[in-house]
Structure 1
Amino acid sequence: MRFISEQQQADLLDMAEVVEAVEEALQAYSEGQTENPLRHVLPFNEDNKYLVMPALSDKLGIVGLKTVTFAPNNPQQGKNTIVGSVILSDYDTGESLAVLEGAYLTKIRTGAISGVATKYLAQQNAKTLCVIGTGEQAEGLVEAVLAVRNITHIQLFNRTYDKAVTFADKLAAQYDITVKVFKDVEDAMHNADIIVTATNATSPVFQNALTNGVHINAVGSFKPDMQELPSVALQQADKVVVESSDTALEETGDLINPIEEGVFKASDLYGELGNIVAGRLEGRLKDEEITVFKSVGLAIVDIVVANYFYQKLLKSDN
């Protein structure tokens, strides 16, 4: 059995390849070709959560288990908020093939899912990306969006301004792109073609109306008591897309709260991203459409990404 560290995963990563693998996983999910139970959440030590997520797919020939701890007070100790691991098992024998460090894998998985959504829902000529929340997940999200769109400007906002500046410096060193940090979230959103929200907010991170043609990837709200997007954003959207209708309606305040407020209905969901990948639903049809992708994650995608890294490692050994 192998252990695949964060550094090994980083060395093996080709985000464009991961986006393609994730497309296949999302399509298999929406075709009913996966077993992906709702995550089981166990609270501990007051604010912490322990999440257990098994998944498998006969079609893809993969099986595995992801475990994650969410510890919101960790940054005060200089530690990551999200810590975990993924166990990849052999589909034929059930033997454990590898254990992968989970925080980095989660960052790449989260980014890649939004990369798929951006590929099908954002304007083809999108140039400006706004990122609201510059924590652990933001790097993977930026890398994935850049893998599918020719972004020339990145606009950042974070509640802690200095963290956004640090992230901006990192992006500027990594990419040949103009990066600017804003102290006001609405200024950061101005003229953005794509907006990414990746925060731990329990209330909406902006209040202004969305502009025609914008696409949003909302990835931070994964519990019923968390809401990044104002309810009016769902009202405005021409298409609201999710990975899993059942999971999203069960787990995220970004959908639960607008439904309880009576401004959005479950039937207003446009559909699942996997059905857009498969061509059963159309993606963006007009430049002026407002599209929202609400992500809460799917364990089968984590297992697919784990398998991607494992197979790449085997090839690198030869």
Structure 2
Amino acid sequence: MLNFTKEDTRGMLSVARAAPLLDETYRAIGQGRVEASSPSMMRVGSTPFRFGAKGAVLNHLDIAGVRITSRKASRLMLWSLQTGEPVAFFDESEMYRFRTGVSAAVVAKYLLQDRKLERAAIIGAGAIAQQIASAIHQTFRPTEIAVSARSVASAKRFAADAAKRGEPVVVAETISEATANADVIVTITNANEELVRPEHVSEGAVVLSMGGGLEVAHGVWASASARYVDDLSYALHQGDAAAWIKEGKFSQSAFQANLTGTVAELAVGKLEAIKTDSHVMAIVQGTTALDIALAHSIYLARTRVQDNG
């Protein structure tokens, strides 16, 4: 069994390689070729470290995997469907942040439907937000990516780092400033409060909710012309949907009935074309199959090198 440190994976990750892979995986989910664990996430105990496990079988790749999650040091293991043997074990801290960033760009592309992205807004300035900015820049080449954070100083550091990579990131001192005329708005924070409200969202904009707590006002979801989730089970227990349900905005069944569909259904064309007379919104909490597919591609690249060495 191969072991991969975060340093091992870092040099093997690129948006150009990962985006088509994630698109292929969303399509495989939509085609019924992926079996997700049930429940989507198994929580282990009630410690502050949030131990848990999420898994999936990717039949089209002959691979299965499980993410072993923790606030401190998440890991991912792969098994071969041909032998049932474990084949690789990953420190996924770097890989997970990267995958989350690329998935934001892939989902945004589905929702934009060939419309041009001129201006993006990212609410949050952490490590995942940096990956999102890079993925959006490399996928869409927008004129401007505005970042807003609780600390203006952290937003300025974010922009300075982005400039070194040639990314057009500017600092917005308020959320209103960041979201003004934004084609895509992404929230990825540790907040537990309404940051993005209906007045922040332009007509035709795409809103991606990606944080673990409350970030987006329920009114943004309610007024959207189309509403999607990537993983319904997980969304019901974490992020904006879970927060709205806890607040009594609606029940779990009412939330599900209110959905237009899933990201995977959108990827394979099972849903009607998106109307652009209003904004659209997707709650993207993380689909484990994407992490497994990315890990598998890295595993294959390593084994090819060893075979040719």
Pick closer, same or farther for the CA change 1:283–1:141 going to 2, 3 Å. Answer: farther
How far does residue 57 in structure 1 lie from its aligned partner after superposition? 2.2
- How far off its partner does 1:212 sit? 0.3
Please state if 1:126 is matched with 2:112: no
Aligned-partner SS, 1:308: helix
Q: Which secondary structure state, in structure 1, belongs to the residue aligned with residue 97 of structure 2?
A: helix
The residue that corresponds to 1:42 in the other structure is 44
Contact 1:245/1:271 (CA < 8 Å) preserved in 2? no
Contact 2:224/2:281 (<8 A) preserved: yes
- 1:77 maps to none
Query: Structure 1: which amino acid aligns with 2:32?
Result: G
**CA-CA distance at 1:148 after TM superposition:** 2.6
Greater shift after overlay, 211-220 or 147-156?
Answer: 147-156
Q: Counterpart amino acid of 1:191?
A: N
Structure 2 residue 202 is the aligned partner of structure 1 residue 211: yes
CA contact (8 A) 2:225 2:275 kept: no
Deviation at 1:35, TM superposition (A): 2.2
Say if 2:162 and 2:168, in contact at 8 Å, map to a contact too.
Answer: no
- Superposed CA deviations along residues 3-26 of structure 1, whole A, max 9, x for unmatched, are 222233221112132121112222
Q: Do residues 298 (structure 1) and 274 (structure 2) align? A: no
1:313 matched to 2:302 = yes
Mapped partners of 2:303, 2:93: distance in 1 = 21
Alignment partner, residue 75 of structure 1: none
Q: Give deviations 1:72-120, integer Å, cap 9, x for gaps.
A: xxxxxxxxxx521111122211222221111111112212222221111
| TM-score normalised over the length of structure 1 | 0.87
Matched, 1:252 2:254: no
1:66 paired with 2:67, answer: yes
Residue type at the aligned position of 1:20: P
Two-structure CA RMSD over aligned residues (Å): 2.1
Q: Taking structure 1 as reference, are residues 253 and 310 closer, same or farther at Cα in structure 2, changes over 3 Å only?
A: closer
Distance, in Å, in 2 between the alignment partners of 1:245 and 1:53 is 14
Aligned equivalents of 2:79 and 2:232: distance in 1?
27
**In the alignment, does 2:254 pair up with 1:275?**
no
TM alignment of 1:181-220, pairs within 5 A: 181-209=171-199, 210-220=201-211
Percent identity, please.
Answer: 22
What displacement does 1:235 show?
Answer: 1.4
In 2, Cα distance between equivalents of 1:21 and 1:232: 34
AA in 1 matched with 2:179:
M
Q: How many Å separate the matches in 2 of 1:208 and 1:165?
A: 26
2:249 to 252, 261, 267: 261
* Cross-structure match for 2:53: 52
The letter of the residue matching 1:6 is K
> Is the contact made by 1:153 and 1:179 (CA closer than 8 Å) also made in structure 2?
yes
2:76 is equivalent to residue 86 of structure 1:
yes
What residue is the counterpart of 2:31 in the other structure?
31
Q: How far is the alpha carbon of 1:44 from its aligned partner?
A: 4.9
DSSP 3-state at the match of 1:83? coil
Q: For residues 295 and 106 of structure 1, what CA distance do their matches in structure 2 show?
A: 14
8 Å CA contact 2:228–2:262 kept in 1: the answer is yes
Matching of residue 153 in structure 1 with residue 144 in structure 2: yes
Alpha carbons 1:186, 1:208 under 8 Å: kept: no
Residue matched to 1:76: none
1:239 maps to which of 226, 239, 247 = 226
Post-superposition shift, 1:208? 4.6
Q: Does 1:230 align with 2:231?
A: no
Paired residues in the alignment total 299
Maintained 8 Å contact 1:251/1:296: no
- TM-score normalized by the length of structure 2: 0.89
List alignment gaps of at least 5 residues for structure 2.
Answer: none
Cα distance in 1, alignment partners of residues 242 and 86 from structure 2: 38
Instruction: Give ranges in structure 1 of 5+ residues lacking alignment.
Output: 71-81
In the alignment, which of 127, 141, 145 is matched to residue 132 of structure 2? Answer: 141
Q: AA paired with 2:70?
A: T
Find the residue that maps to 2:50 and give its secondary structure.
strand
SS of residue in 2 equivalent to 1:191: coil
Asked if the contact 1:125/1:150 (under 8 Å) is kept, the reply is: no
Tell me if the contact between 1:54 and 1:299 (Cα under 8 Å) persists in the aligned partners: yes
1:234 maps to a residue whose letter is W
Contact 1:124–1:149 (Cα < 8 Å) also in 2: no
Name the stretch that deviates more: 36-45 or 258-267: 258-267
Q: CA deviation at 1:272?
A: 0.8
Q: Which whole-Å deviations, capped at 9, do the CAs of 1:49-92 have from their partners, x for residues lacking one?
A: 1121122122331111111112xxxxxxxxxxx52111112221
